[in-house]
Amino acid sequence: MKQFISSSISLAFLCRAPIILAAPKTLDIYFIDVEGGAATLIVSPTGQSLLIDTGWPSDRDAGRIAHVAIEVAGLKQIDHCVITHWHRDHVGGLPALAKLIPIKNYYDHGLPQTIAADMQAELIDAYKQTTQGKSITLKPGNEIKLQRSPKHLPPLQVRVIASGGIVLGDQTSQPQIRPCGDRFEPKAEDKTDNANSVGIVLTFGRFKFLDGGDLSWNIESRLACPKNLVGQVDVYQVDHHGMDASNNPVLVRAMRPRVAIIDDGPRKGAEPGTFATLKSIRSVEAIYQLHRNVRTSDKDNTMSGYIANEAEVCQGDYLKLSVEPDARSYIVSIPARQISRRYRTR
């Protein structure tokens, strides 16, 4: 009898269709090493992808991005691609990349009417050709719609907070310098396209991340004053590769980041002023660099276990950030060195 009961239980169990719950996926952000350019790949828990910037004009950078997208992240296409501004270390890799993986939607701050001294006509032409004239101009307040998160996951939002020199809530880019606050210290007007960078805030539940492209000092001031338009962030992709023409302490302090990630090169970015700013902010628990800055000493670089590429001649190792499905914590890792650390979301 005993045996009968147990077998009927197991039969009843077997007759029911087994419910297999797939493990909830993380939100992943890859900081791809393009040696002083920018290429940040965001992959949502549902597998939608957003690439912000494409590195320098070279097969090297396109190859590194495609490798991470296809072989590491398992993508078949890039759903959305934002070019923050028209400098060669951001738009340069696009034509070569588009030959390696399909790219579905393009966004930028608006095609230039005239080719300024800091732009290159052939890169703009290549962009127009690659996008077939179908790029979308982003304005502050716009959202890039990724597929909605299933109900059991926190909401995911990608929002533009700056574009074309205009910040959220403003109607115009002029004047660039607007006095604000006790600590107001402008720099000379930035006439380069850096000031026009698209700035993007991603939120996934309580988790918040800023990628401001190469936004520079005076625009950063307007993002923080009179109102903190970004809010507090968990992770800050340090503006402009960590150069001192950017990273206004007024903004960095207002955002109170816990983790700062510098997409520098061995001889570009991660400059001492920016490094000192990050070190001086109490909320910053960890500073990561894609590269050791070989032009400065150890004291102006983060600790060795926080640098993806120590040597100037490198393999181009990436940094990875994975936000847990409940968004309560995230892991920053250097996969090539098998280093990973967990941080609590605010």
Q: Can you read off the two tokens belonging to residue 191?
A: 């006439």
Nearest to 67, CA basis, from 306, 305, 336: 336
Helix or strand (DSSP H, E) at 7: helix 2-15
Nearer to Zn ion, 87 or 258 (CB): 87
Minimum distance, C-beta of residue 90 to Zn ion, in the bound complex (Å) = 6
In this complex, which beta carbon is closest to Zn ion, that of residue 26 or of residue 289?
289
Residues from 72 through 91 that contact Zn ion (CB under 5 A) = 89
Closest approach, Cβ 34 to Zn ion, in A, equals: 10
The answer for residues whose C-beta is within 8 angstroms of residue 183's C-beta and 6 or more apart is: 249, 250
Residues of this chain, 88-107, that bind Zn ion according to CB under 5 A: 89
Least Cβ distance, residue 115 to Zn ion (angstroms): 18
CA-based R_g, the chain, Å = 22
Cβ closest to Zn ion, residue 236 vs residue 330 = 236
- For 295, how many CA atoms within 13 A lie in the half-sphere containing its CB? 9
Residues 117-176 that bind Zn ion (CB under 5 A): none
Q: Which positions from 304 through 343 interact with Zn ion, judged by CB under 5 A? A: none
Q: How far apart are CA 233 and CA 73, in angstroms?
A: 24
Q: Which is nearer to Zn ion, 157 or 192 (CB)?
A: 192
Shortest Å distance, C-beta 53 to Zn ion: 8
Closer CB to Zn ion, residue 37 or residue 45? 37
The angle at the Cα of 300, spanning 296 to 303, to the nearest 5 degrees, equals: 115
**Does position 33 bind Zn ion by CB under 5 A?**
no
What is the token pair recorded at 99? 């030959």
Which of residues 190, 214, 239, 317 is near Zn ion by CB under 5 A?
Answer: 214
Stretch that binds Zn ion, among 120-128, 208-216, 258-266, 287-295 (CB under 5 A): 208-216
Binders of Zn ion among 238-277, rule CB under 5 A? none
Least distance in Å: CB of 197 to Zn ion? 9
Strand order in the sheet with 78-82: 135-137, 103-108, 78-82, 49-52, 40-43, 27-31, 319-323, 329-334, 339-344
- CB of 242 vs Zn ion, minimal distance in Å: 10
Complex with Zn ion: residue 190 or 214, whichever CB lies closer: 214
- How many residues form the binding site for Zn ion (CB under 5 A)? 2
Residue 346 CB, nearest distance to Zn ion (Å)? Answer: 28
**Residues 6 or more apart from 222 whose CB is under 8 A from it?**
167, 170, 178, 180
- The smaller minimum CB distance to Zn ion, of residues 203 and 248, is found at 248
Q: At its nearest, how many Å lie between Zn ion and the CB of residue 101?
A: 22
Instruction: Pick the closest to residue 263 from 233, 237, 234 (CA basis).
Output: 237
- Segment contacting Zn ion (CB under 5 A): 3-11, 123-131, 199-207, 211-219? 211-219
Identify the burial level of 150 via C-beta atoms within 10 angstroms of its C-beta, where 0-12 means exposed, 13-18 middle and 19 or more buried. exposed
User: Of 76 and 267, which CB lies nearer to Zn ion in the complex structure?
Assistant: 267
3-state secondary structure (DSSP) of residue 77: coil
Name the residues that contact Zn ion, by CB under 5 A.
89, 214
